[in-house]
Amino acid sequence: MRKRIKSALISVFYKDGLDVIVKSLNNYGVKIYSTGGTKDFIDNLGFPVESIENITGYPSILDGRVKTLHPIVFGGILAIRDKQDHQEQLLKYEIPEIDLVIVDLYPFEETVKSTKDESEIIEKIDIGGISLIRAAAKNYNDVFIISHRGQYHELAGILEENKCETDLETRRKFAMEAFAVCSHYDSTIFNWFDKYNNSFLKISSHKPQILRYGENPHQEAVFFGEFYEMFEQLNGKEISYNNILDIDAAVNLISDFKETSLGIIKHNNACGFSSRENLTEAWKDALAADPVSAFGGIIVCNKIVDNQTAEEINKIFIEIIIAPDYTPEALEILKQKKNRIILLQKSIELPNKTLRSSLNGFLLQDRDTKVETQEEFKFVTNLKPAKEQIEDLIFANKLVKHTKSNAIVLAKNKQLLASGTGQTSRVDALKQAIEKAKSFGFDLNGAVMASDAFFPFSDSIELASKEGINAVIQPGGSIRDQDSIDFCNKNNIAMVFTGFRHFKH
């Protein structure tokens, strides 16, 4: 099933690297057909090329919207070479066979990122190109398809090594890639049209990043996405599956904080977090919340990492550091650990949807971007929280939103004291948080408590009161809310309702 390439149709948007291919085709006597700018490019290289217009008898029309859409072109691609009646029709209608098609697509995705001009975006929806790709891929038994510029280098090697011949296995492989290109392209166009309706789920990513392994070493894993559009990796080993999950948790958490803040993430939860006047103090107070769990954790912050902060961080083993920038000196300090992953987070908005697999399908939802403000609080107790308490309540509420449910967060002076995470009951989450805070020497008198969902009973409020916690923030909504309110009123505890639950499963 080896086929010699005797003719080629070349019509591409991206021409870098094309000169090597054209030279090789010419050396093997391949007849080249082309269109528009690609023909001009080949002409300028000094190689013979025939315009598609010469074989169709039609010029490019409608501002280039119609160039290759013609039976002569598609007949030459789709004809089955060993089928007699197909060969007779080619002869009858004077249709030349086309053995190689090199076509890429108008840059629709790139255009969407660069402009909001709908007319410009629409013009980047390729019609002729994608039709040529599909036709050539369908007839891979006889035709070789190159569907994107990333294949140019490989094609050049194939032409030279095999003296302009291709085998069936290679043609089939490139046909498969061509259909992946078409699928991704159509999904991108659909999602642009459907961005406000969410009527269907179309997901496509054609750049899988191979990860070291999955959640555990015996599991293989890849990441489909544009990781390095969001980050520049300045140091360290390859990213793993679990790294990506922790990085995702870290950047979502820090995105809710504007003042100088630093968090330490372990297993998708914050084990330390604080907001301070400077980053070094933020690091020290975040670390104090749980210096044990911080070992091997992930640091995320929203300010430039300076020399002093880097020196402090470098005293313990930290696997990943994420920051908007680093001073040159700080970077050199942090690079002393050669495997430490150092990421510079770029200014890119997070997606507004989250997706996860479940059963034999997917769950798609809006990302939880809600951040409650004081103006939205419902003050439900006789005692209103003081200004400093309100600041701590807002701080704690942001943290509990990013903590696995059932979740309780205890905080004071914009410092995470402890959290109870992933418990099957809310009171157990509180008990876990209290025990942890005490184990690291924190005084809970004057601390605040945040809950990601309502308290079904007043038992959690009663337990918190015994520890000196005197302000509570929760969504409200339980049929027994009044029991908790009554207890707060009797024991001089301030409580506010937000009206928003923040489950995180």
Long-range own/partner contacts, residues 453-456 (CB < 8 A, 24 or more apart)? 453/405, 453/406, 453/426, 453/501, 453/502, 453/503, 454/478, 454/481, 454/501, 455/426, 455/480, 455/481, 455/484, 456/426, 456/480
Query: Is there a domain that residue 15 lies in?
Result: yes
Say whether 138 is catalytic. yes
Per annotation, catalytic residue among 124, 202, 206, 267: 267
Q: Are 36 and 185 part of one and the same domain?
A: yes
Q: Are 156 and 102 part of one and the same domain?
A: yes
Query: Is there a domain that residue 80 lies in?
Result: yes
Single pTM value for the model: 0.78
Q: Which residue bears the tokens 């293989």?
A: 220
| DSSP state for residue 295 in the 8-state scheme | T
Q: Are 187 and 240 part of one and the same domain?
A: no
Say whether 153 is catalytic. no
Q: What is the CATH number of the domain that holds 73?
A: 3.40.50.1380
Q: Are 21 and 95 part of one and the same domain?
A: yes
Query: Is there a domain that residue 368 lies in?
Result: no
Query: Is there a domain that residue 218 lies in?
Result: no
Q: Which token pair is 226?
A: 């544009």
In the chain, the number of structural domains is 3
Q: Are 188 and 123 part of one and the same domain?
A: yes
Pick from 153, 171, 193: which residue ends a domain?
193
Q: Report the alpha-carbon distance of residue 241 to residue 139 in Å, rounded.
A: 38
Beta-sheet pairing, 378-379 with 494-497: antiparallel
Query: Is there a domain that residue 267 lies in?
Result: yes
Query: Is there a domain that residue 34 lies in?
Result: yes
Q: Are 35 and 85 part of one and the same domain?
A: yes
Q: Are 170 and 264 part of one and the same domain?
A: no
**Full residue range of the structural domain in which residue 160 is found:** 3-193
Q: Are 108 and 169 part of one and the same domain?
A: yes
Q: Report the alpha-carbon distance of residue 188 to residue 262 in Å, rounded.
A: 36
Q: Are 332 and 408 part of one and the same domain?
A: no
Angle in degrees, 0-180, between the axes of helices 128-138 and 168-193, rounded to the nearest 10? 150
Pick from 176, 193, 210: which residue ends a domain?
193
Sequential pLDDT tens for the chain (505 residues):
788 999 999 999 888 889 999 999 999 999 999 988 899 999 999 999 999 888 888 888 787 788 788 888 999 999 999 999 999 989 998 899 999 999 998 888 888 888 888 889 999 888 888 999 999 999 999 999 999 988 999 999 998 888 888 999 999 999 999 999 999 888 888 888 887 666 666 676 667 788 888 999 999 999 988 898 899 999 999 999 999 999 999 999 999 999 999 999 999 999 999 999 999 999 999 999 999 999 999 999 999 999 999 999 999 999 999 999 999 999 999 999 999 999 999 988 888 888 888 898 888 888 999 999 999 999 999 999 999 999 999 999 999 999 999 999 999 999 999 999 999 999 999 999 999 999 999 999 999 999 999 999 999 999 999 999 999 999 999 999 999 999 999 999 999 999 999 999 9
Q: Are 19 and 73 part of one and the same domain?
A: yes
Query: Is there a domain that residue 215 lies in?
Result: no
Q: Are 419 and 305 part of one and the same domain?
A: no
* Cβ neighbours around 389 below 10 Å, total: 21
Query: Is there a domain that residue 355 lies in?
Result: no
Q: Residue 10 forms beta bridges with which residues?
A: 34, 102
Q: Report the alpha-carbon distance of residue 476 to residue 380 in Å, rounded.
A: 10
Q: What is the CATH number of the domain that holds 459?
A: 3.40.140.20
Pick from 345, 360, 387: which residue ends a domain?
345
Q: Are 244 and 150 part of one and the same domain?
A: no
Per annotation, catalytic residue among 138, 284, 303, 337: 138
